[in-house]
Amino acid sequence: MIIRKKFGFEGAHIVRDCSSDRCRHSIHGHSYIVEVFFTSNGLDNGGMVMDFGLMKGPIKNFIDSFDHAYSLWNKEEQEFKEFMKKQSERWVEMPVSPSAEMYSLMFFFVIDKIISQTVFNNGEKQVRLRSVRVHETASGYAESFAEDLTYWNFTLGDIIFSDKVVSEWKDSQMYEKLKRGDFFINPKVELKYHQDEHDNH
Ligand SMILES: [Zn+2]
């Protein structure tokens, strides 16, 4: 079974070296839609792969980092980087060019880490991130799966968030916790109705 949660952000970028003239030379924006797909080996105590409400923490905050923000490729000229950081409060510096493909890959990398560092407390059965789909326009999207992580060797430290972005997270320590390998503990649920699990025959 697959579940999907939809997020979005209004993001600005330049995609250097792409074929479209306007895209590679000029700052512009898109209303991005991000679809995050999860799967598991069974359902939790609530009959779910994973409660949608649990995605409102680090996952939502991470994606929201890119909202009303400039996505700054770290290969940009120093002068440009310094100007953007000085003149615009919300920015994210990233190790890859901000194409839909690279966003989906980078989001997969980070959300996968968040899930692997989450302690599920309601009988969830090996929740896994299946894919991340990033729609740049109403007609075009890129989707990344685990096997696509071979495209780029991401590390968490290569993604840098401006102070303003960090200050607007629900937990300003969220990304530091992720880098340290700390766990995100989901709340325990007091069960009123136990759903009997079927034994495997
Ligand atoms: Zn664009």
In a domain, 45, yes or no: yes
In a domain, 198, yes or no: no
28 CA to centre of ligand 1 in angstroms: 6
10 CA to centre of ligand 1 in angstroms: 11
Q: What is the pLDDT along the chain (201 residues), one digit of tens a residue?
A: 999 999 999 999 999 999 999 899 999 999 999 999 999 999 999 999 999 999 999 999 999 999 999 999 999 999 999 999 999 999 999 999 999 999 999 999 999 999 999 999 999 999 999 999 999 999 999 999 999 999 999 999 999 999 999 999 999 999 999 999 999 999 999 998 876 655 554
In a domain, 62, yes or no: yes
136 catalytic, yes or no? Answer: yes
In a domain, 89, yes or no: yes
Range of the domain at 137: 2-182
34 CA to centre of ligand 1 in angstroms: 15
- Total domain count for the chain? 1
68 catalytic, yes or no? Answer: yes
In a domain, 200, yes or no: no
66 CA to centre of ligand 1 in angstroms: 14
- Long-range contacts of the stretch 67-71 (C-beta < 8 A, 24+): 67/8, 67/9, 67/10, 67/11, 68/9, 68/10, 68/11, 69/9, 69/11, 69/12, 69/162, 69/165, 70/11, 70/12, 70/13, 70/27, 71/11, 71/12, 71/13, 71/98, 71/103
In a domain, 191, yes or no: no
Q: pTM of the prediction? A: 0.95
In a domain, 88, yes or no: yes
Which residue in the list 23, 35, 89, 168 is annotated as catalytic? 23
In a domain, 128, yes or no: yes
